[in-house]
Amino acid sequence: MTETSDRPARAAEPTASAPVLEVRNLSIYFQTMRGEVQAVRESSFTIEAGEAVGMVGESGSGKSVTGLSILRLLPERNSRIEGEVLLNGRDVTKLPEKEMVGVRGREVSMIFQEPMTALDPVFTVGQQISATLRAHHPEIGRKQAKAAAIDLLEDVGIPEPAQRYREYPHRLSGGMRQRAMIAMALICEPQLLVADEPSTALDVTIQAQILELILELSRDRGTAVMLITHDLGVVAETCERVLTMYAGEVVEQCSVDAALLSPRHPYTSGLLRAIPRAEDRHSELYAIPGRVPLLHEMPDGCRFRPRCEYAVDGCEGRQDLVEIGLDRSVRCWRYDQLDLPGAVSAEATAESE
């Protein structure tokens, strides 16, 4: 966004010693016709200022639910949250809804999976972006909010931004709608951006552009990014650190390089092996056997055990997330016994350098 005197003041920056986001023992429950089920179990992680963190896993792993819980967007009538979600040091799970309205958009924003359903069809794109800004900064007039919205539409790469400001969502292409969603999420310059599968419905070329745009804007503004995706290849290209989720649990967290070279959890290794490679185009694609268990069918002990080719006696017990090095933890008691294949070998990396 171009610098003007109308630019809103940003929310208070986190202190140097505190992360933007700290999630402590987060558990999420839903009431269903089968009774209460647990969608996320004791999840803990942090995201530092300006950091890009990927959260990966198959559908049903609890990624999107975790993202929604950070913004308190889960339906209160049939959901329950335990644990702490500290945003800039404040536990948002304890805030009254009136205060939470001021947090969403200003301190943390979200890019949803499908922009066509996330954007309101009865208002123009520009009206929705301007309204987001004025909701948090009522001192800004309509003309100033419109100018700021048009500037940001230009920043996100939308051609003829003044014209697109007046368009309704159905008049824009999928890529433009997603760019408009990014503009809406960033208009108040939050410290944390939760991007939930922001490029799933787009073709490969537009997907790469959208991901690069998010990271470029993040670098320019110092915004931390939590990228939710099922694609570890995307995380490898865009993030510094990765959290692997399976069946509602964080099973591994480490740097992206560490995950690619030497995964310590069989599930992380399986996701990496499932990435198609050009050199293997004549080979059969690898697939992790089985499926993510339903919420009311969670196995006892290690939740990945029924699908794990490395499971042995002793895996029936519950697995805790244990630290195994600096900024690295894993939920598998056999982590130091297994030689798990990664996406690339250390030898190949050394040769390329």
* pTM of the full structure: 0.86
Contact 182, 214 (CB under 8 A): yes
pLDDT at 322: 92
Give domain status of residue 183, yes or no. Answer: yes
Could you give the angle at the alpha carbon of 61 between the alpha carbons of 56 and 65, nearest 5°?
95
Confidence of residue 353 (pLDDT cuts 50, 70, 90): very low
Is the same domain home to 52 and 159? Answer: yes
Give domain status of residue 4, yes or no. Answer: no
Question: How far apart are alpha carbons 82 and 344 in whole angstroms?
Answer: 38
Say what angle helices 174-186 and 204-221 make with each other, to 10 degrees.
10
Q: Mean per-residue pLDDT for 47-68?
A: 93
Is the same domain home to 225 and 255? Answer: no
Is the same domain home to 221 and 255? Answer: no
User: The domain that contains 98 carries what CATH number?
Assistant: 3.40.50.300
Is the same domain home to 111 and 216? Answer: yes
Percent of residues, the chain, with pLDDT higher than 90: 58
Alpha-carbon dihedral 32, 37, 43, 47, rounded to 10 degrees: -10
Could you give the angle at the alpha carbon of 275 between the alpha carbons of 271 and 279, nearest 5°?
145
pLDDT at 201: 63
Give domain status of residue 153, yes or no. Answer: yes
Residue 297 burial (CB < 10 Å; 0-12/13-18/19+)? exposed
Q: Mean per-residue pLDDT for 326-331?
A: 92
- Each residue of 83-118: pLDDT tens digit? 999 999 999 999 999 999 989 988 999 988 777 778
Helix (H, G, I), strand (E, B) or coil at 204: helix
Taking the CB of residue 225, how many other CB atoms lie within 10 A of it? Answer: 24
Is the same domain home to 220 and 256? Answer: no
Residue after which a domain boundary falls, among 239, 265, 286: 239
Is the same domain home to 182 and 76? Answer: yes
Is the same domain home to 203 and 279? Answer: no
pLDDT at 352: 41
**Which residue in 127, 141, 135 sits closest to 101, CA to CA?**
135
Lowest mean pLDDT among 128-137, 269-278, 292-301, 333-342: 269-278
Give domain status of residue 185, yes or no. Answer: yes
Strand partners, 225: 52, 193
- Each residue of 263-304: pLDDT tens digit? 999 999 999 988 877 666 777 888 899 999 999 999 888 999
Give domain status of residue 2, yes or no. Answer: no
Is the same domain home to 224 and 326? Answer: no
- Each residue of 197-226: pLDDT tens digit? 887 666 777 778 888 888 888 888 889 999
Judge whether residue 3 has pLDDT over 50: no
3-state DSSP percent of the chain in helix, strand and coil, to 5:
35, 20, 45
* Rounded alpha-carbon distances, angstroms, from residue 21 to 53, 87, 223: 11, 5, 12
Residue 247 burial (CB < 10 Å; 0-12/13-18/19+)? buried
Confidence of residue 146 (pLDDT cuts 50, 70, 90): very high
Helix (H, G, I), strand (E, B) or coil at 220: helix
Is the same domain home to 232 and 253? Answer: no
Terminal-residue alpha carbon distance, the chain: 37
Is the same domain home to 284 and 147? Answer: no
Confidence of residue 7 (pLDDT cuts 50, 70, 90): very low
Overall domain count for the chain: 2
Is the same domain home to 33 and 161? Answer: yes
Give domain status of residue 10, yes or no. Answer: no
Contact 194, 71 (CB under 8 A): yes
Residue after which a domain boundary falls, among 192, 212, 239: 239
Domain holding 272, by residue range, is 243-352
Residue after which a domain boundary falls, among 218, 239, 260: 239
pLDDT at 155: 87
Is the same domain home to 287 and 217? Answer: no
Q: Mean per-residue pLDDT for 151-171?
A: 92
Helix and strand totals (H; E) in the chain: 12, 12
The DSSP letter of residue 139 is T
Give domain status of residue 63, yes or no. Answer: yes
Give domain status of residue 1, yes or no. Answer: no
pLDDT at 174: 83
Strand partners, 242: 54, 254
Contact 20, 48 (CB under 8 A): yes
Amino acid identity of 222? G
